[in-house]
Amino acid sequence: MALPLSTVMGLSMVKDAWENYQRYLADQKENTKETKVYNAATKKMEKRSWQSVRVGQIIKVDENEFFPADMVPFHSSDHKGTCYVETKGLDGETNLKLKQVE
């Protein structure tokens, strides 16, 4: 009785470890991608990796650009000040959510 249970538990542990490792590799790949961050000292946008972005920094996101973080939109190029956000990475929903910039 103990052998089948330990076999199933062992296989489950190996599968979970493999999935965690794959998630780790995907996170590392995403963290090394670049974005545009405002530098207050030079008053210019600079390219930086996502892993160097810190709370409170201003980031420029272009149309249809993916960004792996929670952000507050300050400005939109849309004449009504709206933008659409897909949150499937957070909650699994694939429909776009309307955000209004005031």
pLDDT at 10: 94
Tens-of-pLDDT digits for all 102 residues of the chain?
A: 678 889 999 999 999 999 999 999 988 998 899 999 999 999 999 999 989 998 889 999 888 787 776 777 788 888 888 888 877 777 777 788 877 776
Residue type, 6: S
Q: Which residue has the tokens 């963290």?
A: 31
Secondary structure letter of residue 74 according to DSSP: -
pLDDT at 102: 67
pLDDT at 21: 96
Contacts of 74 (CB under 8 A, 6+ apart): 58, 101
pLDDT at 38: 94
pLDDT at 18: 97
- Please count the helices (runs of H) and the strands (runs of E) in the chain: 2, 5
Contacts of 81 (CB under 8 A, 6+ apart): 75, 100, 101, 102
Q: Do the Cβ atoms of 102 and 89 come closer than 8 Å?
A: no
